[in-house]
Amino acid sequence: MRDLPLQRSISEVETTSPKQNIAPAILPPRTKKAAINKKIVWIDIDNSPHVPFFLPIVEELQRRDVEIVLTARAAYQVCDLIELFSMPCKVIGRHYGKNKLMKVVGNCLRAAELVPMTIARRPDLAVSHGSRAQVLVCKSLGIPTLVMHDYEHSTKTGFIEPTWILMPDVIPDDVMSKKTERVLRYQGLKEDVYVPQFRPDPSILARLGLDANNLIVTLRPPATEAHYHNPESELLFNETLRFLAKQPDLRTVVLPRSVRQNEQIRKDWAELISRGQVIIPREAVNGLDLIWFSDLVISGGGTMNREAAALGVPVYSIFRGKVGAVDRYLSENGRLVLIESAQEVTSKIRLTRWNRPAAPNNRSGVVLESIVDSVVSILENRRPTTA
């Protein structure tokens, strides 16, 4: 476990020994840090995209006088992004790779590590975007949970189903839970929570050694360690890089998902990297900045695709798992192009300059307000309204 910088007003998490087993427990009185009747929400960050997603949610809940306890799992770029966005946080547990058995073992181990903090702080509600370890702990301690989802084909957790599920309204009603009365909805995309607050920083070009005169492409590899990974995505990733490499004035910024993937890409594409055609950032960057100053985005995963769609940047998906309702909706509305074969890499991807507006034009805070309203309604023991 390690603490990350405290530069905001979120409460620091108190921890005890992580070696306790998960078991039903009587929760002690709250710490003196929490005022009487002040509600506590525990947010657990489980994956890289959750860092920018939860930042405005945390700030809005604090504005409504809710105390926040923030934890995170050391997975992918989570720790780097927490430091980049200056989010005070207790990092507990890590990622255990793509082996399914180790995923189960890793979730149980992390749940055990989370127990002492949970007992010490006694949150009124636990919130995440898919943290199975958090749900497991809270199930054993009788703490209500709210889990957000935006991909209906993620692995279901069965007996550790959360108290509430919150998801975009384009996802069918009964795919995430048989208890449809516990399924809440919001209109729009998960990315609409934080994209409206985005202000482009052009310094990213200089920091990455990019020339605005070049055609710039942001390329995100597939999530090779995810349970839903399809090896066809890797084939499309390689075909895409070969296609882009044929354009001498084009620069491709590749954003690996893990240290292992970073090392493999640097090994496989060393020549393109040495020629400056492929650039891999050596430190975490704000993905929205990179997307905004790119002419197009190609990604093997959902979040970056949807961020680009929310900003209006041309975007192509090389994801070959089961296509979720959100991506299908974006495709049907012309905001996302699905690449389904190696032939379509060259026939569908258009290497043209994006006519970038002076500033992002999406400034609605409706999705953020809707999600926070749902959290507050649960805290106040009211039935949350759905979109």
Q: Concatenated DSSP letters for 168-215?
A: ETTS-TTSS-S-GGGEEEESS-GGGGTGGG----THHHHHTT--TTSE
309: containing domain: 200-348
Sign of CA pseudo-dihedral 138, 143, 149, 154: positive
- Write down the pLDDT at residue 92: 92
- pTM score of the predicted model: 0.81
pLDDT along the chain (387 residues), means of 10: 40 31 36 63 93 96 96 87 90 75 80 94 95 94 95 70 93 79 91 93 96 95 72 93 95 92 95 97 92 97 91 96 92 96 96 94 85 95 64
Q: Is residue 72 part of a domain?
A: yes
CA gap 166, 148 in Å, rounded: 5
Residues β-bridged to residue 222: none
Q: Could you tell me if residue 387 is inside a domain?
A: no
What per-residue confidence (pLDDT) applies to 58?
96
pLDDT of residue 302: 80
pLDDT of res. 181: 85
Q: What is the tally of structural domains in the chain?
A: 2
Q: Could you tell me if 320 and 178 lie in one domain?
A: no
Neighbours of 227 (CB within 10 A): 12
Q: Are residues 207 and 145 in the same domain?
A: no
Shared-domain flag, residues 274 and 339: yes
25 and 123: one domain? Answer: yes
Same domain for 162 and 249, yes or no, is: no
Question: Among residues 47, 213, 7, 33, which one has the least CA distance to residue 123?
Answer: 33
State the Cα–Cα distance between residues 316 and 234, nearest whole angstrom.
15
Per-residue model confidence as pLDDT tens digits over 47-80: 888 999 999 999 999 999 999 999 999 887 788 8
CA gap 108, 110 in Å, rounded: 5
pLDDT of residue 9: 30
Answer whether 305's CB lies under 8 Å from 327's CB. yes
Instruction: Look up residue 317 and give its DSSP letter.
Output: E
One domain, residues 147 and 214: no
Q: Give long-range contacts, CB 8 A cutoff, 24+ apart: 149-157.
A: 149/176, 150/189, 150/190, 150/302, 150/306, 150/324, 150/326, 151/228, 151/302, 151/324, 151/326, 152/176, 152/324, 152/325, 153/228, 153/321, 153/322, 153/324, 154/130, 154/227, 154/228, 155/227, 155/228, 157/132
* Same domain, yes or no: 220 and 86: no
pLDDT for 65: 95
CATH of the domain at 372: 3.40.50.2000
Amino acid identity for residue 286 in this structure? N
Residue 384 lies in a domain: no
Please check whether residues 120 and 214 belong to one and the same domain: no
H-helix or E-strand containing 115? helix 100-121
Q: Apex CA 289: angle with CA 225 and CA 95, to 5°?
A: 20
Examine the domain organization and report whether 46 and 185 are in the same domain: yes
Residue with tokens 């189960």: 104
- Is residue 250 assigned to a domain? yes
